[in-house]
Homo-oligomer: A and B are copies of this chain.
Amino acid sequence: MAQLFYREALNQAMCEEMERDDTVVLMGEEVAEYDGAYKVSQGMLDKFGPKRVIDTPISECGFAGIGIGAATYGLRPIVEFMTWSFSLVAYDQIVNNAAQVRYMSGGQFEVPIVFRGSSGGGLQVGATHSHCPENWYANVPALTVITPAFPDDAKGLLKSAIRSNNPVCFIENEKLYGFKDEVPDEEYLTPIGKARTVREGDDFTLITNSGSTHRALEAGKALADDGIEAEIIDLRTVKPLDMDTILESVRRNHRVLIVEENKPFAGWGAQVAYEIQALAFDELDAPIMRVASRDVPQPYNGNMEQYVLPNPERIAETAKKLLA
């Protein structure tokens, strides 16, 4: 198996799908001539030309809406937000149009579109640029929200998202673009809506996603040194939730820790916690705990930002409280 960067895996996914299907186009700021602000679309302009790899003005609301309109007409646009923080100016288009045109038309129109881009904190870009929008979009009934943590999932899930006949919010993580790992050489699709157990353990169940998965794995190692074995589930898809995988693990471990980068108030972790206690109340030996970003705007200062994020130390500490 080839070792690929997360960004390369995403690039392969888009290239393979564009070769396979002429109706797939990529549009966004700097995706073409600049090869992408984070180089995710490197080389795609040369491969597919300016008709299919399209630089846009800084008009997220406008080009998100253009993607949606084009999708209702039969194209399968990939709309890149340089970061999801900039999708806030396009929030209305995504919520009211991408997610509702099918319903409001009584099922007449399909909206096969993928919104994708970077997200999250940790790189000291400050409060306006560090948003984690999983919960803002997962709350919207028709939207599917995918947040891959590894290159192989990034590729397989993006290919599935592009082939989906429905709107998908594909939320990447800026800190992971440079993460390298094995990716199968042959073509494959990763199923949407299935979580992945990335570490087995019988002391407690840790549920996480995206960049937090890596911090959780770090914490898992540290805990193992203290003889605590965490079972770590990477959701991969935040909505719909794979409750089967979650509950199966909870029934074995009886203790649950959720680790998310969302700000805590009604972050996705709150929903996972709610569903677990609703569906497996008697299985719980202790309250479900969460490690989310602290409930403050993202600070620029590096130490402060690490303190605000769900870092391995906080995760390990909280796990110990959970088992106390």
Residues of the B chain whose Cβ atoms lie less than 8 Å from the Cβ of A239: 265
A45 within 8 Å of B (CB atoms): no
Pairwise interchain contact B267-A266, C-beta atoms closer than 8 A: yes
- In Å, the complex CA distance between A1 and B140 comes to 42
| A88 interface neighbour in B96, B128, B266, B290, Cβ under 8 Å | B96
Residue of B nearest to A134 (CB): B266
Chain A 109-138 against B: per-residue CB contact (8 Å), 1 yes, 0 no? 000000000000000001110010001101
Least Cβ–Cβ distance between A281 and chain B, in angstroms = 4
What B residues does A126 contact at CB under 8 A?
A: 104
Chain B contacts of A103 at CB under 8 A? Answer: 127, 296-297, 299
Q: How many copies does the complex hold?
A: 2
**B-chain residues with CB within 8 Å of residue A299 when the two chains form the complex:** 103
- Asked if A95 is at the interface (CB within 8 A of a chain B CB), the reply is yes
Interface size class of A (residues with CB under 8 A): 35 or more
Query: Quick check: A297 and B135 within 8 Å, CB to CB?
Result: no
Give A138 to B267 CA distance when docked, in angstroms.
Answer: 10
Q: Which residues of A contact B (CB under 8 A)?
A: 61, 85, 88-89, 91-92, 95-96, 99-100, 103-104, 126-128, 131, 135-136, 138-142, 239, 262-271, 273-274, 277-279, 281, 284, 286-290, 295-297, 299
Q: List 17 A-B contacts (CB under 8 A).
A: A88-B95, A100-B127, A100-B128, A135-B265, A136-B139, A138-B265, A140-B263, A141-B295, A141-B296, A264-B271, A270-B270, A270-B271, A270-B273, A274-B274, A274-B290, A279-B287, A281-B284
